[in-house]
Structure 1
């Protein structure tokens, strides 16, 4: 049975599990993916995102649950019978084959007629913008070009689903930005469904229609980039979406979801993600962009945090530094002017941009 030519509306993971001995890498995750969606599986190393991708690809057997395309169960099929395109982190190109031969390998294995194979290979090479490189070997190409060959090889078979496992992690920062744009362009042009594994929140935010955040083999939250960026449901999700600063304190006021915490000698306000009560221990999370230095004559007010500059560096548009407080909190902040390490500063937190979670 070959799924590559089958139309579908939905791919479903139903209570999908995978164990390695006593370790549960996936703990019964369920997810529905619509045709044409770009889904990013996001999370730290060991969260289960690559395991989930390899189970979908058929490279790993499941130990519980099932994978379905519409009503057809596919986790019982061999990888080659699923008809999916796969792009690996290390490119996995054949070093002795030219670009054209690498791209056409999957079609050759499928017995595609030579004339059709030639036209499809040329179309795939054109789509990834590698015209003029067809007769080169992988060793003669840059990392970005090799990744384009790997993408062309995955899409030339016209798969219903393209699976990408951290495909940009081996590229430098400039190439990663360029290839991000290329991957989204190719996805839009193909109209295929894409599942993309990454640990980089910027990649997920820029590429995905929906982001699936995993931790310890479980799905923590699913939503659009805007939903996860602005409204993370859990502290660990917030941390992964850029809320690097964490301040522990006690709730001293609450009204309609707006809470104020007593944090050391400061009273800091934010929005509670779940109901909190006065006296409850909580954690305020805020992005570095929303922590700024404030005027020296305001340093005695309770709405500011007194701290000592530890490090500071110039980032072009502004300065980014770290500062420590007397009660052992460390904050990353932005500043319009330089500050000497060891100097005292007052930091202001935008209450509209701060989130509060149960401790």
Structure 2
């Protein structure tokens, strides 16, 4: 077995990647233990796919180094790293059968026919496609094609499986089903999975830890629970579902509790930073901002039913758009008051907005 397949830790040490004058990655440092599932999360252009391609060897790094234990790998070509890659568009050969697609990487590596057959059979069994081996990709659904791409990636028995937004082309039902499949497959491999996504639900449901990137920099690393409940900065909070950003004047503090004047009403929350000035921004998830008898005033724009509750958008203080939850349907133009449990309100510096 290759030394790369027996590693314990993947280490990125101040990895940077420039495109001319643009710094696409800025001193990325990260340690990942064998068996971990890591999601690289962030908006388009944040550097997450660039980071994945640098780890894969598809892009050279401008500075820094990448290690598997004490073996430096950023100096190796992609074929010598032996990582499995799953792309957004599947990248299957349309003229080859499923079995031949899965075995392609093994043939390129010169694996003996008998050994290759065993690995192909095992990979197809892992993704539950053993009975589809002779089909062409065009005869399969999108979810099945993505499972073929995963089988091809794992057939080479890689130390790392790298996935670049693999579910973005699938419909909502298939995405949910494939999340479960990917997590199950990862658990059976015992290697590292690095998963690029811009979808916070995917990251939360799949990852052991999430790395949030913005403008080529790591903004926060933590478990799904840590990032969901305690985002460290306003931009991380916004990406973790805190869609409401309400500026206000600080009118009182007690420990971590901060009181803001928002639309003439007091809104209490928890400080997530050392607040520098007389103004701050409260971040609240739509499901936590609820219509009722108390709170700041707003005017309803739209209200829609989502099965378990009504969710709406309204014009809040200063004309800002706010998103809220209601127990009953509300009509456009209706006056409403919105409030949130202080424990569910996070307060950040206004400058971070």
TM range (shorter): over 0.9
Task: State whether residues 4 and 82 of structure 1, in contact with CA within 8 Å, keep that contact through their aligned partners in structure 2.
Answer: no
**Residue 155 of structure 1: aligned partner:** 154
Q: How do 1:305-320 and structure 2 match up within 5 A? A: 305-320=296-311
**Residue 112 of structure 1: aligned partner:** 111
**Residue 294 of structure 1: aligned partner:** 292
Establish whether residue 331 from structure 1 lines up as the match of residue 322 from structure 2.
yes
**Residue 281 of structure 1: aligned partner:** 279
Task: State whether residues 214 and 221 of structure 1, in contact with CA within 8 Å, keep that contact through their aligned partners in structure 2.
Answer: yes
Task: State whether residues 263 and 297 of structure 2, in contact with CA within 8 Å, keep that contact through their aligned partners in structure 1.
Answer: no
- In 2, the alpha carbon distance for the partners of 1:30 and 1:326 equals 41
| CA shift for structure 1 position 6 | 3.5
Establish whether residue 252 from structure 1 lines up as the match of residue 243 from structure 2.
no
Task: State whether residues 9 and 70 of structure 1, in contact with CA within 8 Å, keep that contact through their aligned partners in structure 2.
Answer: yes
| CA shift for structure 1 position 4 | 6.8
Three-state SS of the structure 2 residue aligned to 1:32 is strand
Three-state SS of the structure 2 residue aligned to 1:275 is coil
Establish whether residue 99 from structure 1 lines up as the match of residue 90 from structure 2.
no
- In 2, the alpha carbon distance for the partners of 1:22 and 1:276 equals 34
CA 99–45 in structure 1, closer or farther in 2 if over 3 Å, else same:
same
Aligned residues: 350
Three-state SS of the structure 2 residue aligned to 1:75 is coil
- In 1, the alpha carbon distance for the partners of 2:116 and 2:4 equals 16
Establish whether residue 132 from structure 1 lines up as the match of residue 137 from structure 2.
no
| CA shift for structure 1 position 264 | 2.1
CA 62–5 in structure 1, closer or farther in 2 if over 3 Å, else same:
closer
Q: How do 1:31-180 and structure 2 match up within 5 A? A: 31-180=30-179
- In 1, the alpha carbon distance for the partners of 2:3 and 2:299 equals 60
Task: State whether residues 3 and 83 of structure 1, in contact with CA within 8 Å, keep that contact through their aligned partners in structure 2.
Answer: no
TM-score (norm 2): 0.97
CA 324–3 in structure 1, closer or farther in 2 if over 3 Å, else same:
farther
- In 2, the alpha carbon distance for the partners of 1:325 and 1:153 equals 51
| CA shift for structure 1 position 326 | 4.3
Task: State whether residues 42 and 198 of structure 2, in contact with CA within 8 Å, keep that contact through their aligned partners in structure 1.
Answer: yes
Establish whether residue 217 from structure 1 lines up as the match of residue 233 from structure 2.
no
TM-score (norm 1): 0.95
Q: Output one character per residue of 1:312-354: Cα deviation in whole Å (capped at 9) or x when no partner.
A: 1110111110011241221111111101111111111111100
The RMSD of aligned alpha carbons is 1.2
Q: How do 1:265-276 and structure 2 match up within 5 A? A: 265-276=264-275
Q: What are structure 2's unaligned runs of at least 5 residues? A: none
- In 2, the alpha carbon distance for the partners of 1:321 and 1:287 equals 12
Task: State whether residues 87 and 163 of structure 1, in contact with CA within 8 Å, keep that contact through their aligned partners in structure 2.
Answer: yes
Q: Output one character per residue of 1:179-231: Cα deviation in whole Å (capped at 9) or x when no partner.
A: 00000000001111100000000000000000000000000000000000000
- In 2, the alpha carbon distance for the partners of 1:346 and 1:3 equals 63
Three-state SS of the structure 2 residue aligned to 1:274 is coil
Q: What are structure 1's unaligned runs of at least 5 residues? A: 299-303
